[in-house]
């Protein structure tokens, strides 16, 4: 996401952020026992990992963990940027590989290399950068999820999504507010190339087929599971949730021969964090095997810790694409304005 998009998001969110400066006037001794983490809605919400993570972290460390739901991933980043001259939180989570360069440019992150990084899946950290301002904690590939009870056939490629049979049948997320929405733009940049006639024509042809540009993944996925459209952008791991909890094979991840881009989600200590020691303790904890094994059944992403066990549902309903495409974060950032301009016509 480019700076213009971030500014829009920040201004929209400012009214919600300003009261948050008052976590309460705490003395330094009290604040040193508290760790505040800024998180996005699908992590901090009712079905996310936050409650289990909080209980486990507090039991292991004795810290008081406060996880603040900041809305979408983009809103979470915007909040940290708005507060960077008066830092309130210690850790931010949900900065993915498409947002990492922007977070660095905004100067909100402090470097910290956690313990036991040898347990991380090879290649994940490099997707977030060469320094340790961000540490990966989960990952998955973006994919279109298809409702097999739909009357329309499953598309076999990104280009198929532009066919008239899919008019008003696709749910996407707004790339200015959602990391999933930004990931879909990154995917189209990887396949068609930014600034090419193919890229522009794809989005022009796709426009009438988009039912909604949801503000967040949670909103878009909710619309999909309510049957409002047969296709939604999500992750190859998403259908595993229905298999795990409802023994339901209705939803299917579609694998395209063009290849897929991957999202790697990271966390970082905020520069000027009031409790830097607590922030480091949280980051160390969050990549531990015990904490990582909580993520597959709450975040529905692969854990970054290679020793974490996966549930059976991942083996049956979370396919791995044969081809992973490289992403271009600078081109993706530039593409967001073009995409929104095309869709507004």
DSSP H helices in 115-255? 124-128, 179-192, 197-206, 217-225, 240-246
Predicted pLDDT of residue 213: 97
3-state secondary structure of 154: coil
Predicted pLDDT of residue 9: 38
Residue 315: which residues within 8 A CB-CB, separation 6 or more?
A: none
The DSSP symbol for 148 reads T
The DSSP symbol for 255 reads P
300 φ/ψ sector (left φ>0, alpha ψ -120 to 50, else beta): left
Predicted pLDDT of residue 5: 32
pLDDT in tens, the chain (345 residues): 332 233 333 333 333 443 444 455 567 889 999 999 999 999 998 889 999 999 999 999 999 999 999 998 999 999 999 999 999 999 999 999 999 999 999 999 999 999 999 999 999 999 999 999 999 999 999 999 999 999 999 999 999 999 999 999 999 999 999 999 999 999 999 999 999 999 999 999 999 999 999 999 999 999 999 999 999 999 999 999 999 999 999 999 999 999 999 999 999 999 999 999 999 999 999 999 999 999 999 999 999 999 999 999 999 999 999 999 999 999 999 999 999 999 998
Nearest residue to 135 (alpha-carbon basis) of 115, 159, 105, 150: 115
Predicted pLDDT of residue 172: 98
With 0-12 / 13-18 / 19 or more C-beta atoms within 10 angstroms meaning exposed / middle / buried, residue 338 is: middle
Predicted pLDDT of residue 25: 54
123 φ/ψ sector (left φ>0, alpha ψ -120 to 50, else beta): left
Predicted pLDDT of residue 146: 98
Predicted pLDDT of residue 27: 76
Contact by Cβ (8 Å): 336, 5: yes
DSSP 282-307: HHHHHTSHHHHTTSTTTT-SEESBTT
């Amino acid at each position: 996401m480019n700076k213009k998009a971030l500014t829009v998001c920040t201004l929209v969110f400012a009214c919600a952020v300003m009261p948050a400066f008052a976590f309460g006037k705490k003395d330094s001794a009290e604040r040193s026992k508290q760790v505040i983490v800024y998180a996005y809605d699908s992590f901090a919400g009712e079905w996310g990992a936050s409650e289990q993570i909080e209980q486990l972290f507090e039991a292991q460390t004795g810290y008081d963990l406060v996880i603040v739901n900041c809305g979408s991933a983009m809103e979470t980043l915007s909040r940290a940027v708005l507060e960077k001259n008066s830092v309130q939180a210690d850790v931010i989570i949900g900065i993915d590989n498409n947002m990492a360069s922007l977070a660095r440019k905004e100067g909100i992150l402090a470097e910290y290399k956690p313990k036991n990084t040898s347990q991380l899946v090879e290649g994940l950290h490099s997707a977030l950068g060469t320094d340790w301002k961000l540490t990966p904690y989960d990952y998955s590939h973006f994919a279109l999820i298809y409702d097999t009870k739909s009357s329309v056939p499953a598309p076999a490629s990104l280009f198929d999504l532009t066919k008239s049979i899919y008019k008003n049948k696709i749910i996407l997320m707004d790339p200015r507010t959602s990391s999933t929405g930004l990931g879909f733009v990154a995917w189209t940049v990887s396949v068609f190339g930014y600034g090419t006639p193919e890229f522009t024509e794809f989005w022009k042809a796709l426009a009438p087929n988009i039912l909604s540009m949801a503000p967040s993944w949670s909103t878009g996925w909710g619309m999909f599971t309510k049957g409002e459209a047969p296709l939604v952008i999500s992750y190859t791991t998403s259908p595993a949730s229905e298999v795990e909890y409802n023994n339901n094979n209705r939803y299917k991840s579609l694998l395209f021969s063009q290849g897929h881009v991957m999202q790697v989600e990271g966390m970082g200590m905020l520069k000027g964090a009031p409790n830097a020691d607590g922030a480091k303790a949280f980051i160390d904890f969050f990549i531990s095997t015990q904490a990582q094994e909580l993520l597959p059944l709450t975040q529905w992403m692969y854990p970054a810790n290679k020793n974490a066990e996966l549930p059976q549902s991942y083996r049956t309903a979370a396919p791995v694409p044969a081809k992973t495409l490289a992403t271009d974060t600078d081109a993706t950032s530039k593409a967001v304005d073009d995409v929104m301009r095309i869709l507004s016509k």
